[in-house]
Structure 1
Amino acid sequence: MPEYMVIVVRSLFTFFFILLMARLMGKKQIAQLTFFDYITGITIGNMASAMAINASLQPIDAIIGVSIFVVLTILIARGAVGSMKFRKLVEGSPTILIRNGNILEKNLSKVNMSFDDLMMGLRNKNAFKLDDVETAVLETSGKITVMKKTENTPLTPKDIQLPVESEHTPSLVIVDGSVLTTRLRYLGYSEEWLHGEVMKQGASHFKDVYLAQIDSKGNVYVDLYDEGRKTEQVKQKPLLSAQLRKIQADMESFAIQTDNQAAKQMYYSQSRELQNLIDQINPYLKE
């Protein structure tokens, strides 16, 4: 077999082997990696590259070496989870750099960090003034976390006892011109209502829409295809029809949500009356 084909085969094998090893090691955010994880990753990467292109290295030797590193890494990670002392031995412990607004010079020296390094870490956390910082900690990942003084912390609605409506994950309801009907119904909306919403934003049909997303408050974000964007006014008659159907859909949604039987019956009754009205005026609203 030609040498270049040998490298191709070894490279493909190495790629999928390292992919398998990575899956076994589990997920870990890059920002949370310790120095040990970093060095282990580099070592495994060097072994993998050697296995791919070093023809004098037997693949089985590289596989054994990588497997040992992966197994040891998994065992150490599991040991760190189960034992605080072992975790401290392997990963170290966080170091406080600023306490009660005062810089701890000895701790800076202990972790070989200069004042410039400290200031850069604080600026990364939007703390440009030392006077704003209550506590700063160097984590085992090498990142600096900052707690600002209470008077310098931005107010939240909870701080001023302002009631706010909870936000939930928004959902896509149109992808590439196709309505995700099942998801739309699960969210409690009808296609007629959605059609009215996309018309407000310049679309004539669902096929004009590349993506549409609904948030937890019922607001719709619509992104049209570039060639389908319109600058002219949306036609009012079809829009009125869509708005009426939206109101009807809202009534049916309210009926489903309420546990009050009288209110439920009222919503359904009004929905039927509105449907009769729509049927009567619909011929006049068509363009």
Structure 2
Amino acid sequence: MSQPSSWPIPNGSTRFVLPRRTVTELSKHPISKDLYPIAMGYYKRAFGHSMSRSRHDDCLLIYCVDGCGKLNAGLKSYKITTGDFILLPKDEIHSYLADNKTPWSIYWLHCEGQLIDEFITPLKKLSRHPVLQLGLHSRLISDFEALLDLRQSTQLFESYLHSSSLLRQLLTHITLLHTQARHHFDKTFDMDAIQSLMLRCVHETLDIDTLAATANLSKFHFIKRYKALTGSTPINDFIRMKIERACHLLDITDQRISEIAWTLGYEDATTSLEPLETSWASRRANIEAFA
């Protein structure tokens, strides 16, 4: 495996490397041998982050969701900005670094598998260089977050098998998004950018001023436009995202509701327990009804 960066991880960032023994098992298992993750992470406002590899023996994916940076691959240099996706296949010598003034926030993932070429070839055909201009997509961020949630249940090999399926979904989704981007229509209200910001901040607090600024609108016009398009208010949708993430963590971890509420940005966890407990109770009732 290509060595991940040793960049010191600040608060809000994460780096997860799968155990070597697990990677070996994934490479042999019939469900995962075709495609599986090796290491992954999220670097938030990664000031000082850089990497250079003269030897690269897996496939590396990088999705820039904020800020900017620079990539050198082959004989060319590329400026990386928000919404850019980097695909670096095996043996692609490269280096990259975050911008000093507005350092990038990136999701990254190393992967391998017997059919890795088949999964990345469609992307390589769509673009002649390693940078795909996808734009911000909330569902793509959700795909990366779902893979990162793997680290919460690492005691189960079945969770690693599930990560193989998630990775398939991620790569095919990127192919679809890039194809759609080639038929892009200008939009005056970028819902994906707004909901991407919500998902990135699902573990934090987020106010209307920040969301309205993303849409370049006043608070009043932003809320009115958002509700007209979705039928809901932005804050209600943000709370829903938190509850959905909490229910997912309740499924895959042994954490208590109060602990999960704390990780989702509620300093006073008791204020968040009632809607979360109600949602979880409803979900259990539905499961038991079909059991």
Please classify the TM superposition score into its range, dividing by the shorter chain length.
Answer: under 0.3
TM-score by length of 2: 0.22
TM-score by length of 1: 0.23
Higher helix share: 1
Greater Rg, structure 1 or structure 2? Answer: 1
Higher strand share: 2
